[in-house]
Structure 1
Protein backbone atom coordinates (compact mmCIF):
# COMPACT_ATOMS: atom_id res chain seq x y z
CA UNK A 1 0.00 0.00 0.00
CA UNK A 2 1.38 3.39 -0.99
CA UNK A 3 1.75 5.70 1.99
CA UNK A 4 2.31 9.44 1.83
CA UNK A 5 4.76 11.14 4.17
CA UNK A 6 1.90 12.88 5.97
CA UNK A 7 -0.09 9.69 6.56
CA UNK A 8 3.06 7.87 7.60
CA UNK A 9 3.82 10.50 10.21
CA UNK A 10 0.24 10.37 11.50
CA UNK A 11 0.37 6.59 11.71
CA UNK A 12 3.68 6.62 13.58
CA UNK A 13 2.43 9.31 15.94
CA UNK A 14 -0.78 7.42 16.63
CA UNK A 15 0.97 4.16 17.41
CA UNK A 16 3.47 6.00 19.60
CA UNK A 17 0.55 7.52 21.47
CA UNK A 18 -0.90 4.06 22.08
CA UNK A 19 2.48 2.76 23.21
CA UNK A 20 3.14 5.67 25.54
CA UNK A 21 -0.11 4.91 27.35
CA UNK A 22 1.45 1.78 28.79
CA UNK A 23 4.77 3.25 29.88
CA UNK A 24 5.03 3.38 33.69
CA UNK A 25 5.28 6.92 34.96
CA UNK A 26 6.19 8.32 38.34
CA UNK A 27 6.37 11.62 40.14
CA UNK A 28 2.62 12.21 40.52
CA UNK A 29 1.59 14.85 43.02
CA UNK A 30 -1.75 13.18 43.65
CA UNK A 31 -2.46 11.53 46.98
CA UNK A 32 -2.44 7.76 47.08
CA UNK A 33 -5.78 6.25 48.08
CA UNK A 34 -6.11 4.56 51.42
CA UNK A 35 -6.76 0.82 51.36
CA UNK A 36 -10.51 0.44 50.88
CA UNK A 37 -10.65 -2.78 48.95
CA UNK A 38 -11.11 -6.50 49.36
CA UNK A 39 -7.97 -8.52 48.63
CA UNK A 40 -8.45 -11.06 45.84
CA UNK A 41 -6.06 -13.99 45.59
CA UNK A 42 -4.92 -15.40 42.24
CA UNK A 43 -7.42 -13.90 39.80
CA UNK A 44 -7.08 -15.46 36.35
CA UNK A 45 -8.38 -15.43 32.77
CA UNK A 46 -9.14 -18.55 30.72
CA UNK A 47 -9.68 -18.34 26.95
CA UNK A 48 -13.19 -19.35 25.86
CA UNK A 49 -13.31 -18.45 22.17
CA UNK A 50 -12.03 -16.16 19.45
CA UNK A 51 -13.88 -14.74 16.46
CA UNK A 52 -12.53 -15.20 12.94
CA UNK A 53 -9.92 -12.54 12.08
CA UNK A 54 -12.45 -10.45 10.14
CA UNK A 55 -12.99 -7.44 12.43
CA UNK A 56 -10.43 -5.07 10.96
CA UNK A 57 -8.43 -3.18 13.59
CA UNK A 58 -11.05 -3.64 16.30
CA UNK A 59 -10.51 -1.21 19.18
CA UNK A 60 -13.40 -1.60 21.60
CA UNK A 61 -15.98 -4.18 22.69
CA UNK A 62 -19.18 -3.31 24.55
CA UNK A 63 -21.55 -5.87 26.05
CA UNK A 64 -25.21 -4.83 25.70
CA UNK A 65 -27.14 -6.25 28.64
CA UNK A 66 -30.52 -5.62 27.01
CA UNK A 67 -29.82 -7.48 23.76
CA UNK A 68 -27.21 -9.94 25.01
CA UNK A 69 -24.96 -9.02 22.10
CA UNK A 70 -21.59 -7.33 21.67
CA UNK A 71 -20.86 -4.13 19.81
CA UNK A 72 -17.36 -3.98 18.31
CA UNK A 73 -15.81 -0.77 16.98
CA UNK A 74 -13.55 -1.32 13.98
CA UNK A 75 -11.09 1.33 12.82
CA UNK A 76 -11.03 -0.44 9.48
CA UNK A 77 -7.57 0.72 8.45
CA UNK A 78 -4.11 0.77 9.96
CA UNK A 79 -4.15 4.35 11.23
CA UNK A 80 -6.27 5.22 14.31
CA UNK A 81 -6.17 8.90 13.34
CA UNK A 82 -7.03 8.71 9.64
CA UNK A 83 -10.36 10.13 8.45
CA UNK A 84 -10.93 7.62 5.68
CA UNK A 85 -14.55 6.58 6.21
CA UNK A 86 -13.53 2.94 6.71
CA UNK A 87 -14.63 2.73 10.33
CA UNK A 88 -17.62 0.63 11.39
CA UNK A 89 -19.51 -0.98 14.25
CA UNK A 90 -20.07 -4.75 14.16
CA UNK A 91 -22.40 -6.98 16.15
CA UNK A 92 -21.01 -10.20 17.61
CA UNK A 93 -22.78 -12.87 19.67
CA UNK A 94 -21.58 -13.87 23.13
CA UNK A 95 -20.53 -17.21 21.63
CA UNK A 96 -18.17 -15.54 19.14
CA UNK A 97 -20.30 -15.50 15.98
CA UNK A 98 -20.00 -12.36 13.85
CA UNK A 99 -23.69 -11.56 13.37
CA UNK A 100 -23.26 -8.34 11.38
CA UNK A 101 -19.77 -7.11 10.47
CA UNK A 102 -21.11 -3.78 9.18
CA UNK A 103 -24.07 -2.89 11.41
CA UNK A 104 -23.10 0.80 11.16
CA UNK A 105 -20.64 2.10 8.55
CA UNK A 106 -19.30 5.47 7.43
CA UNK A 107 -17.24 6.22 10.52
CA UNK A 108 -13.53 7.04 10.45
CA UNK A 109 -11.67 5.46 13.37
CA UNK A 110 -14.28 4.65 16.04
CA UNK A 111 -13.03 3.71 19.48
CA UNK A 112 -14.83 3.73 22.85
CA UNK A 113 -18.58 3.11 23.19
CA UNK A 114 -21.35 3.42 25.76
CA UNK A 115 -25.14 3.02 25.76
CA UNK A 116 -27.56 5.61 27.16
CA UNK A 117 -31.30 5.97 26.59
CA UNK A 118 -31.43 3.73 23.53
CA UNK A 119 -28.45 5.36 21.86
CA UNK A 120 -24.94 4.04 21.28
CA UNK A 121 -22.35 6.77 21.77
CA UNK A 122 -18.99 6.40 20.03
CA UNK A 123 -15.84 8.51 19.86
CA UNK A 124 -14.41 9.06 16.37
CA UNK A 125 -11.08 10.96 16.44
CA UNK A 126 -12.45 14.48 17.03
CA UNK A 127 -16.18 13.75 16.83
CA UNK A 128 -18.66 12.40 19.35
CA UNK A 129 -21.20 10.24 17.51
CA UNK A 130 -24.71 9.20 18.49
CA UNK A 131 -26.24 6.07 16.91
CA UNK A 132 -29.89 5.15 17.29
CA UNK A 133 -29.78 1.48 18.22
CA UNK A 134 -33.30 0.65 17.01
CA UNK A 135 -32.63 1.92 13.48
CA UNK A 136 -28.84 1.44 13.28
CA UNK A 137 -28.64 5.02 12.00
CA UNK A 138 -26.25 7.80 12.96
CA UNK A 139 -28.60 10.28 14.61
CA UNK A 140 -26.14 13.00 15.60
CA UNK A 141 -22.51 14.06 15.51
CA UNK A 142 -20.70 16.69 17.54
CA UNK A 143 -17.32 18.10 16.53
CA UNK A 144 -15.36 18.59 19.76
CA UNK A 145 -13.37 21.82 19.69
CA UNK A 146 -9.64 21.19 20.06
CA UNK A 147 -10.08 17.41 20.21
CA UNK A 148 -7.17 15.29 18.98
CA UNK A 149 -7.67 11.66 20.04
CA UNK A 150 -11.09 10.99 21.57
CA UNK A 151 -11.01 7.56 23.14
CA UNK A 152 -12.95 5.78 25.86
CA UNK A 153 -16.63 6.33 26.78
CA UNK A 154 -18.78 5.60 29.85
CA UNK A 155 -22.39 6.40 30.70
CA UNK A 156 -24.25 6.95 33.97
CA UNK A 157 -27.84 8.11 34.53
CA UNK A 158 -28.16 10.09 31.32
CA UNK A 159 -24.66 11.56 31.26
CA UNK A 160 -22.04 10.20 28.86
CA UNK A 161 -18.37 10.76 29.67
CA UNK A 162 -15.54 10.50 27.16
CA UNK A 163 -11.79 11.09 27.17
CA UNK A 164 -9.27 12.75 24.88
CA UNK A 165 -5.98 10.92 25.25
CA UNK A 166 -3.82 13.59 23.60
CA UNK A 167 -5.24 16.68 25.29
CA UNK A 168 -5.71 15.08 28.72
CA UNK A 169 -9.35 16.14 28.96
CA UNK A 170 -12.51 14.42 30.13
CA UNK A 171 -15.74 15.62 28.51
CA UNK A 172 -19.37 15.04 29.46
CA UNK A 173 -22.51 14.99 27.31
CA UNK A 174 -25.90 15.60 28.93
CA UNK A 175 -29.18 17.16 27.83
CA UNK A 176 -27.88 17.96 24.36
CA UNK A 177 -24.75 19.83 25.43
CA UNK A 178 -21.09 18.92 25.90
CA UNK A 179 -18.78 20.29 28.59
CA UNK A 180 -15.24 19.65 29.79
CA UNK A 181 -15.18 18.37 33.36
CA UNK A 182 -11.47 17.63 33.88
CA UNK A 183 -8.12 18.64 32.38
CA UNK A 184 -4.44 17.85 32.89
CA UNK A 185 -4.79 14.06 32.84
CA UNK A 186 -1.69 12.79 31.04
CA UNK A 187 -2.60 10.24 28.34
CA UNK A 188 -6.07 9.71 29.81
CA UNK A 189 -7.81 6.76 28.19
CA UNK A 190 -10.00 4.29 30.05
CA UNK A 191 -12.99 5.64 31.96
CA UNK A 192 -15.76 4.01 34.01
CA UNK A 193 -18.48 5.22 36.37
CA UNK A 194 -19.63 3.40 39.51
CA UNK A 195 -23.26 3.03 40.52
CA UNK A 196 -22.88 5.91 42.98
CA UNK A 197 -21.64 8.21 40.20
CA UNK A 198 -17.94 8.14 41.11
CA UNK A 199 -15.77 8.46 38.01
CA UNK A 200 -12.65 6.32 37.62
CA UNK A 201 -9.98 6.61 34.93
CA UNK A 202 -6.68 5.29 33.63
CA UNK A 203 -3.89 7.67 32.69
CA UNK A 204 -0.13 8.08 32.97
CA UNK A 205 -0.33 8.28 36.76
CA UNK A 206 -2.25 5.02 37.10
CA UNK A 207 -5.77 4.09 38.14
CA UNK A 208 -7.51 7.02 39.82
CA UNK A 209 -10.86 8.35 40.90
CA UNK A 210 -12.43 11.78 40.84
CA UNK A 211 -13.49 13.27 44.15
CA UNK A 212 -16.56 15.42 44.74
CA UNK A 213 -14.47 18.61 44.60
CA UNK A 214 -13.01 17.70 41.18
CA UNK A 215 -9.62 16.61 42.51
CA UNK A 216 -8.32 13.11 41.83
CA UNK A 217 -6.92 10.39 44.04
CA UNK A 218 -4.64 7.62 42.79
CA UNK A 219 -5.86 4.15 43.69
CA UNK A 220 -3.08 2.15 42.02
CA UNK A 221 0.10 3.70 40.60
CA UNK A 222 1.45 0.50 39.04
CA UNK A 223 -1.18 0.02 36.35
CA UNK A 224 -0.31 3.13 34.36
CA UNK A 225 -1.42 4.03 30.85
CA UNK A 226 -4.37 1.66 30.82
CA UNK A 227 -6.91 1.32 28.00
CA UNK A 228 -10.15 -0.40 29.05
CA UNK A 229 -11.47 -0.23 32.62
CA UNK A 230 -14.03 -2.42 34.43
CA UNK A 231 -15.31 -1.72 37.94
CA UNK A 232 -15.67 -5.03 39.77
CA UNK A 233 -16.84 -3.67 43.13
CA UNK A 234 -15.31 -4.04 46.58
CA UNK A 235 -12.49 -1.75 45.47
CA UNK A 236 -11.38 -4.08 42.67
CA UNK A 237 -10.91 -3.28 38.98
CA UNK A 238 -9.88 -4.96 35.74
CA UNK A 239 -7.75 -2.81 33.42
CA UNK A 240 -6.21 -3.49 30.04
CA UNK A 241 -3.06 -2.07 28.50
CA UNK A 242 -3.10 -1.79 24.71
CA UNK A 243 0.28 -3.53 24.24
CA UNK A 244 -1.13 -6.84 25.47
CA UNK A 245 -1.79 -6.91 29.21
CA UNK A 246 -4.86 -7.27 31.41
CA UNK A 247 -4.56 -6.51 35.12
CA UNK A 248 -6.65 -7.14 38.21
CA UNK A 249 -5.98 -4.12 40.42
CA UNK A 250 -6.94 -2.46 43.67
CA UNK A 251 -5.41 -0.16 46.26
CA UNK A 252 -3.82 -3.25 47.82
CA UNK A 253 -1.92 -4.43 44.75
CA UNK A 254 -2.29 -5.86 41.28
CA UNK A 255 -2.00 -9.09 39.28
CA UNK A 256 -1.12 -9.31 35.59
CA UNK A 257 -3.66 -11.91 34.44
CA UNK A 258 -2.85 -11.89 30.73
CA UNK A 259 0.26 -11.03 28.71
CA UNK A 260 0.01 -11.43 24.94
CA UNK A 261 2.84 -9.08 23.96
CA UNK A 262 5.03 -11.92 22.67
CA UNK A 263 2.23 -12.93 20.30
CA UNK A 264 1.88 -9.28 19.24
CA UNK A 265 -1.80 -9.47 20.16
CA UNK A 266 -3.09 -6.23 21.62
CA UNK A 267 -5.60 -5.86 24.45
CA UNK A 268 -7.43 -2.64 23.70
CA UNK A 269 -10.73 -1.37 25.20
CA UNK A 270 -12.16 -4.47 26.89
CA UNK A 271 -15.84 -5.25 27.52
CA UNK A 272 -17.43 -7.27 30.31
CA UNK A 273 -20.47 -9.48 30.92
CA UNK A 274 -20.95 -9.33 34.70
CA UNK A 275 -23.50 -12.13 34.96
CA UNK A 276 -21.21 -14.62 33.19
CA UNK A 277 -17.92 -13.04 34.37
CA UNK A 278 -16.57 -12.94 30.81
CA UNK A 279 -14.06 -10.36 29.59
CA UNK A 280 -14.15 -9.52 25.87
CA UNK A 281 -10.84 -8.43 24.37
CA UNK A 282 -10.41 -6.54 21.08
CA UNK A 283 -7.03 -7.53 19.66
CA UNK A 284 -6.60 -4.53 17.33
CA UNK A 285 -4.18 -5.58 14.53
CA UNK A 286 -5.04 -9.29 15.01
CA UNK A 287 -8.57 -8.39 13.78
CA UNK A 288 -10.47 -10.63 16.17
CA UNK A 289 -12.24 -10.51 19.52
CA UNK A 290 -11.24 -12.99 22.22
CA UNK A 291 -13.41 -13.96 25.19
CA UNK A 292 -11.94 -14.97 28.57
CA UNK A 293 -13.60 -16.36 31.66
CA UNK A 294 -12.62 -14.33 34.72
CA UNK A 295 -12.05 -16.29 37.92
CA UNK A 296 -11.47 -14.45 41.17
Structure 2
Protein backbone atom coordinates (compact mmCIF):
# COMPACT_ATOMS: atom_id res chain seq x y z
CA UNK A 1 0.00 0.00 0.00
CA UNK A 2 2.87 2.37 0.81
CA UNK A 3 4.56 1.69 -2.53
CA UNK A 4 1.25 2.14 -4.33
CA UNK A 5 0.71 5.46 -2.52
CA UNK A 6 4.22 6.68 -3.41
CA UNK A 7 3.68 5.69 -7.07
CA UNK A 8 0.31 7.47 -7.19
CA UNK A 9 1.76 10.61 -5.66
CA UNK A 10 4.66 10.61 -8.13
CA UNK A 11 2.23 10.13 -11.01
CA UNK A 12 0.11 13.06 -9.87
CA UNK A 13 3.18 15.27 -9.48
CA UNK A 14 4.48 14.28 -12.92
CA UNK A 15 1.08 14.92 -14.50
CA UNK A 16 0.97 18.31 -12.80
CA UNK A 17 4.37 19.24 -14.24
CA UNK A 18 3.29 18.20 -17.75
CA UNK A 19 0.01 20.11 -17.47
CA UNK A 20 1.79 23.21 -16.19
CA UNK A 21 4.30 23.06 -19.05
CA UNK A 22 1.42 22.77 -21.53
CA UNK A 23 -0.32 25.79 -20.03
CA UNK A 24 2.89 27.82 -20.05
CA UNK A 25 3.19 27.61 -23.84
CA UNK A 26 0.53 30.31 -24.23
CA UNK A 27 -1.52 32.57 -21.96
CA UNK A 28 -5.04 33.86 -22.59
CA UNK A 29 -4.74 37.64 -22.24
CA UNK A 30 -8.19 38.90 -23.26
CA UNK A 31 -11.55 38.16 -24.83
CA UNK A 32 -13.41 40.66 -26.99
CA UNK A 33 -17.19 40.26 -27.14
CA UNK A 34 -19.84 41.57 -29.50
CA UNK A 35 -19.43 39.56 -32.72
CA UNK A 36 -21.89 37.36 -34.62
CA UNK A 37 -20.32 33.99 -35.43
CA UNK A 38 -16.87 35.36 -36.36
CA UNK A 39 -14.87 33.22 -38.78
CA UNK A 40 -11.72 35.06 -39.87
CA UNK A 41 -9.52 37.91 -38.64
CA UNK A 42 -6.79 39.75 -40.58
CA UNK A 43 -4.55 42.73 -39.95
CA UNK A 44 -4.25 45.85 -42.12
CA UNK A 45 -0.80 47.12 -41.17
CA UNK A 46 -1.02 50.12 -43.50
CA UNK A 47 -4.08 51.55 -41.75
CA UNK A 48 -3.54 50.02 -38.30
CA UNK A 49 -6.84 48.16 -38.28
CA UNK A 50 -7.99 44.57 -38.05
CA UNK A 51 -11.03 43.14 -39.82
CA UNK A 52 -13.31 40.30 -38.73
CA UNK A 53 -15.78 38.42 -40.92
CA UNK A 54 -19.08 37.72 -39.16
CA UNK A 55 -21.13 34.89 -40.64
CA UNK A 56 -24.13 35.94 -38.50
CA UNK A 57 -27.28 33.81 -38.80
CA UNK A 58 -29.21 32.33 -41.74
CA UNK A 59 -30.99 35.45 -42.97
CA UNK A 60 -29.87 36.59 -46.46
CA UNK A 61 -27.52 39.56 -46.23
CA UNK A 62 -27.10 39.52 -42.45
CA UNK A 63 -23.33 38.85 -42.63
CA UNK A 64 -20.91 41.72 -42.11
CA UNK A 65 -17.31 42.84 -41.58
CA UNK A 66 -16.21 44.41 -38.29
CA UNK A 67 -13.33 46.86 -38.05
CA UNK A 68 -11.17 46.70 -34.93
CA UNK A 69 -8.69 49.13 -33.45
CA UNK A 70 -5.07 48.07 -33.06
CA UNK A 71 -5.71 46.88 -29.49
CA UNK A 72 -8.52 44.60 -30.68
CA UNK A 73 -11.44 46.70 -29.44
CA UNK A 74 -14.38 47.07 -31.81
CA UNK A 75 -14.13 50.39 -33.67
CA UNK A 76 -17.09 49.73 -36.01
CA UNK A 77 -19.09 46.55 -35.47
CA UNK A 78 -20.97 46.57 -38.77
CA UNK A 79 -18.44 48.31 -40.99
CA UNK A 80 -19.41 46.62 -44.28
CA UNK A 81 -22.79 44.88 -44.40
CA UNK A 82 -25.08 42.94 -46.72
CA UNK A 83 -23.01 39.75 -46.89
CA UNK A 84 -23.98 36.07 -46.80
CA UNK A 85 -21.77 33.78 -44.67
CA UNK A 86 -18.52 35.76 -45.16
CA UNK A 87 -15.48 33.67 -44.24
CA UNK A 88 -11.87 34.08 -45.43
CA UNK A 89 -10.31 37.57 -45.51
CA UNK A 90 -7.31 39.02 -47.35
CA UNK A 91 -5.85 42.53 -47.43
CA UNK A 92 -4.20 43.46 -50.74
CA UNK A 93 -3.09 47.08 -50.92
CA UNK A 94 -6.17 49.29 -50.59
CA UNK A 95 -8.55 46.37 -51.13
CA UNK A 96 -10.07 43.86 -48.74
CA UNK A 97 -11.30 40.55 -50.15
CA UNK A 98 -13.74 38.14 -48.53
CA UNK A 99 -15.32 34.88 -49.61
CA UNK A 100 -19.09 35.18 -49.56
CA UNK A 101 -20.58 31.72 -50.01
CA UNK A 102 -20.23 31.37 -53.82
CA UNK A 103 -18.85 34.85 -54.44
CA UNK A 104 -15.64 36.77 -53.96
CA UNK A 105 -16.31 40.26 -52.65
CA UNK A 106 -13.82 43.08 -53.21
CA UNK A 107 -14.10 46.00 -50.78
CA UNK A 108 -12.59 49.48 -50.93
CA UNK A 109 -10.88 50.01 -47.56
CA UNK A 110 -10.76 53.81 -47.76
CA UNK A 111 -14.46 54.10 -48.63
CA UNK A 112 -15.59 51.22 -46.44
CA UNK A 113 -17.84 49.79 -49.12
CA UNK A 114 -18.17 46.94 -51.59
CA UNK A 115 -16.50 47.75 -54.91
CA UNK A 116 -16.93 44.49 -56.80
CA UNK A 117 -18.80 41.18 -56.57
CA UNK A 118 -17.34 38.24 -58.49
CA UNK A 119 -19.62 35.24 -58.87
CA UNK A 120 -17.92 31.83 -58.96
CA UNK A 121 -20.45 29.78 -60.90
CA UNK A 122 -19.32 26.25 -60.00
CA UNK A 123 -18.50 26.97 -56.35
CA UNK A 124 -20.29 25.27 -53.44
CA UNK A 125 -18.85 26.88 -50.31
CA UNK A 126 -15.87 29.21 -50.71
CA UNK A 127 -13.75 29.53 -47.61
CA UNK A 128 -10.22 30.90 -47.23
CA UNK A 129 -8.05 33.17 -49.45
CA UNK A 130 -4.31 33.56 -49.88
CA UNK A 131 -2.05 35.43 -52.31
CA UNK A 132 1.01 34.27 -54.27
CA UNK A 133 4.17 36.17 -55.18
CA UNK A 134 2.58 37.39 -58.43
CA UNK A 135 -0.41 38.90 -56.67
CA UNK A 136 -2.89 36.23 -57.78
CA UNK A 137 -5.39 34.85 -55.28
CA UNK A 138 -6.09 31.24 -54.35
CA UNK A 139 -9.50 30.45 -52.85
CA UNK A 140 -10.51 27.21 -51.15
CA UNK A 141 -13.90 25.59 -51.72
CA UNK A 142 -14.59 23.42 -48.70
CA UNK A 143 -17.89 22.19 -50.08
CA UNK A 144 -16.32 20.90 -53.28
CA UNK A 145 -12.78 19.94 -52.16
CA UNK A 146 -11.34 22.35 -54.72
CA UNK A 147 -9.17 25.44 -55.09
CA UNK A 148 -9.86 28.37 -57.42
CA UNK A 149 -7.34 30.89 -58.74
CA UNK A 150 -8.14 34.53 -59.42
CA UNK A 151 -6.10 36.83 -61.63
CA UNK A 152 -6.41 40.15 -59.78
CA UNK A 153 -5.53 42.17 -62.90
CA UNK A 154 -8.34 40.73 -65.01
CA UNK A 155 -10.58 39.54 -62.17
CA UNK A 156 -10.95 36.20 -63.94
CA UNK A 157 -11.52 33.19 -61.69
CA UNK A 158 -10.72 29.65 -62.83
CA UNK A 159 -10.95 26.27 -61.14
CA UNK A 160 -7.31 25.53 -60.39
CA UNK A 161 -7.51 22.13 -58.68
CA UNK A 162 -10.42 19.79 -57.89
CA UNK A 163 -9.45 16.68 -55.94
CA UNK A 164 -10.70 14.59 -53.04
CA UNK A 165 -7.03 14.40 -52.01
CA UNK A 166 -7.47 18.00 -50.84
CA UNK A 167 -9.68 16.49 -48.11
CA UNK A 168 -12.23 19.30 -48.35
CA UNK A 169 -9.58 21.98 -47.98
CA UNK A 170 -10.26 24.84 -45.59
CA UNK A 171 -7.34 27.16 -44.72
CA UNK A 172 -4.80 28.29 -47.33
CA UNK A 173 -1.43 30.02 -47.11
CA UNK A 174 1.07 30.67 -49.91
CA UNK A 175 4.74 30.74 -48.92
CA UNK A 176 8.15 29.52 -50.03
CA UNK A 177 6.69 29.11 -53.54
CA UNK A 178 4.37 26.44 -52.16
CA UNK A 179 0.68 26.40 -51.25
CA UNK A 180 -0.04 25.11 -47.75
CA UNK A 181 -3.50 23.90 -46.81
CA UNK A 182 -5.29 22.83 -43.64
CA UNK A 183 -7.94 20.25 -44.51
CA UNK A 184 -11.30 19.70 -42.85
CA UNK A 185 -11.40 15.98 -43.63
CA UNK A 186 -14.25 13.79 -44.86
CA UNK A 187 -16.10 10.52 -44.28
CA UNK A 188 -15.37 10.73 -40.54
CA UNK A 189 -11.66 10.94 -41.31
CA UNK A 190 -9.72 13.85 -39.77
CA UNK A 191 -8.05 16.32 -42.11
CA UNK A 192 -4.30 16.65 -42.68
CA UNK A 193 -1.91 19.55 -43.10
CA UNK A 194 -1.04 19.56 -46.81
CA UNK A 195 1.48 21.08 -49.18
CA UNK A 196 0.62 21.64 -52.85
CA UNK A 197 3.27 22.23 -55.50
CA UNK A 198 1.92 25.01 -57.78
CA UNK A 199 4.09 23.81 -60.70
CA UNK A 200 2.54 20.36 -61.11
CA UNK A 201 -0.37 20.66 -58.60
CA UNK A 202 0.83 17.59 -56.72
CA UNK A 203 -0.56 17.20 -53.20
CA UNK A 204 1.65 16.06 -50.32
CA UNK A 205 0.64 15.21 -46.76
CA UNK A 206 2.84 16.96 -44.20
CA UNK A 207 1.15 15.34 -41.22
CA UNK A 208 1.71 11.60 -40.88
CA UNK A 209 -1.93 11.00 -39.94
CA UNK A 210 -5.14 13.00 -39.76
CA UNK A 211 -5.26 15.74 -37.11
CA UNK A 212 -8.84 17.04 -37.01
CA UNK A 213 -11.23 19.52 -38.63
CA UNK A 214 -8.43 21.88 -39.55
CA UNK A 215 -9.28 25.51 -40.27
CA UNK A 216 -6.73 28.34 -40.04
CA UNK A 217 -3.05 28.28 -40.98
CA UNK A 218 -0.44 30.93 -40.21
CA UNK A 219 3.27 31.03 -40.98
CA UNK A 220 5.87 31.32 -38.21
CA UNK A 221 8.93 30.84 -40.43
CA UNK A 222 9.79 29.00 -43.64
CA UNK A 223 9.43 25.61 -41.98
CA UNK A 224 6.97 26.16 -39.14
CA UNK A 225 3.26 27.01 -38.99
CA UNK A 226 0.34 27.40 -36.61
CA UNK A 227 -2.81 25.47 -37.51
CA UNK A 228 -6.19 25.43 -35.78
CA UNK A 229 -8.48 22.46 -35.22
CA UNK A 230 -12.02 23.85 -35.31
CA UNK A 231 -13.49 20.66 -33.89
CA UNK A 232 -11.48 20.67 -30.66
CA UNK A 233 -10.22 24.25 -30.32
CA UNK A 234 -6.61 23.06 -30.23
CA UNK A 235 -3.89 25.14 -31.87
CA UNK A 236 -0.80 23.28 -33.04
CA UNK A 237 2.66 24.32 -34.09
CA UNK A 238 3.70 22.04 -36.96
CA UNK A 239 6.91 21.74 -38.98
CA UNK A 240 7.25 20.80 -42.64
CA UNK A 241 8.65 17.45 -41.48
CA UNK A 242 5.30 16.68 -39.85
CA UNK A 243 6.33 17.15 -36.22
CA UNK A 244 3.55 18.92 -34.31
CA UNK A 245 3.12 20.31 -30.83
CA UNK A 246 -0.04 21.48 -29.08
CA UNK A 247 0.29 25.14 -28.12
CA UNK A 248 -3.23 26.16 -27.08
CA UNK A 249 -6.30 24.26 -25.96
CA UNK A 250 -9.23 26.65 -26.41
CA UNK A 251 -12.85 25.67 -27.05
CA UNK A 252 -14.55 24.16 -30.08
CA UNK A 253 -15.03 26.49 -33.09
CA UNK A 254 -11.69 28.30 -33.25
CA UNK A 255 -11.62 29.44 -36.89
CA UNK A 256 -9.26 31.25 -39.24
CA UNK A 257 -6.57 32.39 -36.80
CA UNK A 258 -4.18 35.36 -37.01
CA UNK A 259 -0.54 35.34 -35.86
CA UNK A 260 0.81 38.75 -34.85
CA UNK A 261 4.53 38.15 -35.22
CA UNK A 262 5.70 41.46 -33.73
CA UNK A 263 3.72 40.86 -30.54
CA UNK A 264 4.08 37.08 -30.58
CA UNK A 265 0.32 36.74 -30.16
CA UNK A 266 -2.33 34.48 -31.65
CA UNK A 267 -5.82 35.84 -32.27
CA UNK A 268 -8.64 33.28 -32.41
CA UNK A 269 -12.10 34.02 -33.83
CA UNK A 270 -14.44 31.86 -31.74
CA UNK A 271 -17.51 31.14 -33.85
CA UNK A 272 -19.86 29.63 -31.27
CA UNK A 273 -18.81 32.02 -28.51
CA UNK A 274 -19.23 35.21 -30.63
CA UNK A 275 -15.89 36.42 -29.31
CA UNK A 276 -12.26 36.98 -30.32
CA UNK A 277 -9.72 35.38 -27.97
CA UNK A 278 -6.15 36.67 -27.70
CA UNK A 279 -3.25 34.51 -26.57
CA UNK A 280 0.32 35.46 -25.77
CA UNK A 281 2.81 32.82 -26.90
CA UNK A 282 5.33 32.26 -24.12
TM-score, normalized by length of structure 2?
0.82
Quick check: 1:44–1:294 contact (8 Å CA) kept in 2?
yes
Q: Does 1:208 pair with 2:187?
A: no
Q: 1:67 aligns with which of 18, 30, 47?
A: 47
Residue of structure 2 equivalent to 1:11: none
Q: Does 1:292 pair with 2:279?
A: yes
Which shifted more, 129-138 or 88-97? 88-97
Quick check: 2:50–2:72 contact (8 Å CA) kept in 1?
no
Q: Does 1:231 pair with 2:208?
A: no
Q: Does 1:192 pair with 2:173?
A: yes
Residue of structure 2 equivalent to 1:282: 269
Q: RCO greater where, 1 or 2, for CA within 8 Å and sep 6 or more?
A: 1
Quick check: 1:117–1:158 contact (8 Å CA) kept in 2?
no
Residue of structure 2 equivalent to 1:20: none
Quick check: 2:55–2:87 contact (8 Å CA) kept in 1?
yes
Please state how far the C-alpha of 1:275 moved relative to its aligned partner: 1.4
Distance 1:197 1:107 in 2: 32
Quick check: 1:114–1:160 contact (8 Å CA) kept in 2?
no
Which shifted more, 162-171 or 178-187? 178-187
User: Would you say how many aligned residue pairs link Structure 1 and Structure 2?
Assistant: 246
TM-score, normalized by length of structure 1?
0.78
Residue of structure 1 equivalent to 2:143: 166
Distance 2:210 2:25 in 1: 18
Please state how far the C-alpha of 1:100 moved relative to its aligned partner: 0.6
RMSD across aligned positions (CA): 1.8
Please state how far the C-alpha of 1:134 moved relative to its aligned partner: 1.1
Residue of structure 1 equivalent to 2:77: 101
Pair member with larger Rg: 2
What aligned pairs does 1:1-296 form with structure 2 within 5 A after superposition? 44-52=25-33, 54-77=34-57, 82=58, 84-156=60-132, 157-174=134-151, 175=153, 176-184=155-163, 185-194=166-175, 196-203=176-183, 204=185, 205-211=191-197, 212-220=199-207, 221-243=209-231, 244-250=233-239, 251-261=241-251, 265-295=252-282
SS for the counterpart of 1:51 is strand
Distance 2:234 2:214 in 1: 9
Distance 1:83 1:179 in 2: 29
Structure with the larger strand share: 2
Quick check: 1:92–1:99 contact (8 Å CA) kept in 2?
yes
Please state how far the C-alpha of 1:146 moved relative to its aligned partner: 2.0
**Structure 1 unmatched ranges of 5 or more:** 1-40
Residue of structure 2 equivalent to 1:6: none
Please state how far the C-alpha of 1:186 moved relative to its aligned partner: 2.0
**Structure 2 unmatched ranges of 5 or more:** 1-20, 186-190
Please state how far the C-alpha of 1:291 moved relative to its aligned partner: 1.0
